[in-house]
Structure 1
Amino acid sequence: MDEAGALVREGVLKPQDFRFFVGYAGWQLDQLREEIESDYWYVAACSSNLICGGSSESLWEEILQLMGGHYSELSRKPKQDM
């Protein structure tokens, strides 16, 4: 955080160049792989522009829509149903 603040103060980067995600997720050995194989997670290849560019509020929906098919349908479901 100190380095990020210094880069902003020096004019090297702007506050908009950063995106912070708050929270924690941890897994036992092989747990994440097993959860992915059980369809608890959706894996997608995304460009850094997509991840770092747009609105964080709509990022989940936007990525699902780009994945198409069943995923696109999921993007339109109310969040509490997911």
Structure 2
Amino acid sequence: MDDGIAVGRLLVATPQLDDPNFRRSVVLVVEHDTVEGTLGVVLNRPTEVPVDRVLPPWAELATGPSVVFQGGPVALDSALALARIPGEDEPLGWRALDGDTDVGRVGLVDLDAPPGLISAEVIQLRVFAGYAGWGVGQLESEVDDGAWYVLPGEAGDVFAADPERLWQAVLRRQSGDLAFVATFPEDPSLN
């Protein structure tokens, strides 16, 4: 697809996207096809709920901040996890993101599997409640309408130490005028 939407890419909300679910969000695309649509997780919405409160067996593997992140507005009562592993092997309980990704060896974790299956392989892990989803053609339409920038991701984006600053950080590293968007005020009416 020529819109750039692909697994491993980031959807970065433009300043004109004012939906509270996605305002200043950075979404990692984890599935994208022309039959099912697109699924992603918001990377920069940490909650105050500790991982050990909802998934105690996975808490010691969670990368700080060791809280559950709100992955999107859909199915908030379900959880999914992303983990980064070294090497080329694909351990049981972990599935690499398909596609040509720039986010390194990041994949989805089977949270129903015992953590011991992959604990020795996990470099970083983050747990998300819910996800973001778009029907076929819906996200492409939103991109065409100027709601999202579709940008390459980096391995550190998924596990950013300061997730609240991820929107600015991703934009700041872009070339040209797009880097200036990182300085867009939170409330332009106060300028």
What is the number of equivalent residue pairs in this alignment? 78
Say if 2:169 is the partner of 1:65.
Answer: no
Are the structure 2 counterparts of residues 69 and 54 from structure 1 closer, same or farther at C-alpha, using a change threshold of 3 Å?
A: farther
Say if 2:139 is the partner of 1:32.
Answer: yes
The residue number in structure 1 matching 2:153 is 46
Larger % of strand: which? 2
Distance (whole Å) between structure 2 residues aligned to residue 65 and residue 7 of structure 1:
33
Q: Runs in 1 of length 4+ with deviation above 4 angstroms? A: none
**Shift in Å at residue 5 of structure 1?**
1.7
**Shift in Å at residue 75 of structure 1?**
0.5
TM-score calculated relative to the size of structure 2: 0.34
Distance (whole Å) between structure 2 residues aligned to residue 15 and residue 72 of structure 1:
28
Query: Does the CA contact (< 8 Å) of 1:64 and 1:74 recur in 2?
Result: yes
Paired AA for residue 52 in structure 1 = F
Moved more, 13-22 or 40-49: 13-22
Query: Does the CA contact (< 8 Å) of 1:51 and 1:59 recur in 2?
Result: no
TM-score calculated relative to the size of structure 1: 0.70
User: Residue deviations 1:7-62, cap 9 Å, x none?
Assistant: 22xx4x14626651254155443111111122210111112312312211110000
Distance (whole Å) between structure 1 residues aligned to residue 143 and residue 71 of structure 2:
22
Please provide the CA RMSD for this pair.
2.7
1:20 to 69, 84, 87: 69
Instruction: Mark the runs of 5 or more structure 2 residues left unpaired by the alignment.
Output: 1-50, 74-131
The residue number in structure 1 matching 2:58 is 7
Paired AA for residue 160 in structure 2 = G
Distance (whole Å) between structure 2 residues aligned to residue 15 and residue 53 of structure 1:
9
Larger % of helix: which? 1
**Shift in Å at residue 76 of structure 1?**
0.6
